[in-house]
């Protein structure tokens, strides 16, 4: 493959920098709590910006707080090649989900400096705002606005549980930039991320060549019954919203398992991740339960089927328990294929470097899934221990981080140096 450099990134520096970022929001159990637009997020951003400046990159921030750290190319009129991920985490997240892609990108920049390489096209390292969606309920927020999938004003008006809006939180940490948050002419985007699943590890593969992302449908459900005294209200009079919600949780699990439950590559995903009970008092039959539901599949057809079946079955179960169901589709995204050319750069880089690899579909949402709707995009996965993520015990080996970063380096440089003729 033309364009491969045979140059090596610095694995030790990469690891050291990952660990330095993990200090910010470090939890007692070895994980990270760096919730989007919080004070710890601000600290993480500031440390990242300082590192970028030390590396000679020019940092700009857009109106959604997305950060772009630019390294000029030989031809500054060319559209830049983007790469990066996100620095925010789940409430009890790990050290690598998101941070790996950003810090690996920094290592790419540093290595280029060390090696004295100037690429043809400019390069831009990105830290997207609020990929996790844990605080304001909208995942991949910054990249979604950037790609034109979400309306900026509506996103900025979203509030967290304390009533703080996205706009206010951005301003509070000083990251509401003046550059408009919208897609600009970019040549491509590459995102390195941990797999967050068990497949690479089980098959002893080093690199996941990600060909696209799953179709998804997300709901917000509200089950309404009637709160009443737990000690006096007889079975026939009960309209217990939690009993009804429990049936729906069982339905979500059953619909997931219909798609296979025997192997690690089974495609079914269906989860109730967040649930609130009201009034939530030990002596009161719950009158209302609110919860999230998400289903994912590599197949658009399966999600279409779920969109038909689930609301009907769920409503019937809830009604059979004397309650009512209000179900709102929060978002629905089709399966998103990545750019064939970019995917091939990843495939070739892994091969040239001698890493075992496997083609796969991303189970998780990623900022790259949003950018893929407007610019050529690909992703690189590296293995993580026990497939565990969104967990403080999330873990990868230094050599896994290094391998993924080396692939990122090769793919980025190849794309930036490609002939445009």
- Among 246, 304, 307, 374, which residue interacts with its own copies (rule: CB under 8 A)? 246
- For its own copies, the binding residues in 141-200 under the rule CB under 8 A are 195-198
- The SS3 call for residue 379 is strand
CA distance 34 to 150: 23
229 touches its own copies (CB under 8 A):
yes
Which residue matches tokens 């892609």?
101
Nearest by Cα to 101 from 14, 36, 16: 14
- For its own copies, the binding residues in 78-97 under the rule CB under 8 A are 90-92
CA distance 263 to 267: 9
- Among 51, 218, 338, 409, which residue interacts with its own copies (rule: CB under 8 A)? 218
- CB of residue 366 to its own copies, shortest distance in Å: 9
Give the nearer residue to its own copies in terms of CB position, either 362 or 405.
362
Q: Which helix (H) or strand (E) is 67 found in, with range?
A: strand 67-71
- Among 7, 43, 165, 233, which residue interacts with its own copies (rule: CB under 8 A)? 233
- For its own copies, the binding residues in 61-80 under the rule CB under 8 A are none
- Among 26, 117, 228, 307, which residue interacts with its own copies (rule: CB under 8 A)? 228
- CB of residue 269 to its own copies, shortest distance in Å: 6
Site track for its own copies across 318-357, x = CB under 8 A: ----------------------------------------
CA 319 to chain centre: 35
Q: Which stretch binds its own copies (CB under 8 A): 75-83, 333-341, 360-368, 405-413?
A: 360-368
Give the nearer residue to its own copies in terms of CB position, either 46 or 228.
228
Torsion angle defined by CA atoms of residues 391, 392, 396 and 401, in that order, rounded to the nearest 10 degrees: 100
Give the up-direction half-sphere exposure of residue 36: CA atoms within 13 A in the CB hemisphere.
Answer: 30
- CB of residue 75 to its own copies, shortest distance in Å: 38
- For its own copies, the binding residues in 105-134 under the rule CB under 8 A are 132-134
Q: Which stretch binds its own copies (CB under 8 A): 13-21, 37-45, 144-152, 241-249?
A: 241-249
- Helix, strand, coil content of the chain in percent (nearest 5): 35, 25, 40
- Among 115, 149, 230, 307, which residue interacts with its own copies (rule: CB under 8 A)? 230
What are the residue ranges of helices labelled H in 11-148? 11-22, 39-54, 99-115, 141-146
- CB of residue 239 to its own copies, shortest distance in Å: 11
Torsion angle defined by CA atoms of residues 375, 376, 380 and 381, in that order, rounded to the nearest 10 degrees: 60
Pull the structure tokens for residue 64: 């959604």
- For its own copies, the binding residues in 268-307 under the rule CB under 8 A are 268-269, 271-287, 292, 294, 296
CA 345 to chain centre: 22
- The SS3 call for residue 346 is helix
């Amino acid at each position: 493959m033309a364009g491969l450099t045979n140059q090596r990134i610095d694995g030790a520096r990469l690891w050291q920098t990952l660990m330095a970022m993990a200090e910010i929001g470090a939890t007692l159990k070895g994980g990270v709590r760096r919730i989007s637009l919080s004070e710890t997020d601000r600290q993480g951003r500031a440390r990242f910006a300082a590192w970028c400046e030390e590396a000679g990159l020019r940092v700009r921030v857009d109106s959604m707080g997305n950060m772009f750290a630019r390294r000029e190319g030989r031809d500054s009129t060319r559209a830049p090649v983007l790469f990066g991920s996100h620095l925010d985490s789940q409430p009890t997240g790990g050290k690598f989900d998101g941070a790996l892609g950003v810090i690996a990108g920094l290592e790419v920049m540093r290595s280029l400096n060390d090696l004295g390489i100037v690429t043809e096209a400019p390069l831009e390292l990105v830290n997207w705002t609020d990929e996790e969606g844990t605080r304001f309920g909208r995942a991949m927020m910054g990249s979604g606005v950037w790609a034109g999938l979400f309306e900026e004003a509506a996103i900025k008006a979203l509030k967290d549980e304390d009533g703080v809006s996205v706009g206010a939180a951005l301003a509070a940490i000083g990251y509401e930039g003046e550059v408009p948050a919208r897609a600009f002419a970019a040549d491509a985007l590459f995102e390195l991320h941990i797999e967050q699943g068990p497949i690479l590890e089980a098959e002893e593969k080093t690199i996941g060549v990600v060909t696209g992302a799953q179709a998804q449908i997300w709901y917000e459900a509200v089950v309404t019954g009637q709160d009443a005294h737990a000690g006096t209200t007889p079975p026939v009079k009960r309209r217990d919203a939690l009993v009804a919600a429990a049936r729906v949780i069982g339905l979500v699990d059953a619909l997931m398992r219909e798609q296979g439950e025997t192997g690690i590559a089974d495609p079914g995903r269906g989860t109730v991740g967040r649930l609130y009970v009201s009034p939530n008092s030990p002596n009161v039959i719950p009158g209302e339960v609110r919860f999230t539901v998400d289903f994912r599949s590599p197949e658009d057809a399966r999600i279409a089927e779920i969109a038909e079946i689930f609301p009907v079955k769920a409503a019937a179960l809830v009604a059979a328990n004397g309650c009512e169901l209000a179900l709102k589709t929060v978002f629905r995204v089709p399966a998103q294929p990545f750019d064939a050319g970019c995917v091939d750069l990843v495939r070739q880089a892994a091969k040239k470097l001698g890493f075992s690899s496997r083609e796969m579909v991303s189970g998780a949402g990623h900022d790259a899934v949003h950018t893929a709707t407007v610019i050529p995009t690909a992703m690189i996965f590296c293995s993580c221990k026990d497939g565990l993520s969104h967990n403080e015990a999330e873990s990868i080996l230094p050599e896994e981080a290094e391998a993924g970063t080396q692939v990122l380096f090769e793919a980025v440089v190849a794309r930036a140096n490609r002939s445009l003729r």
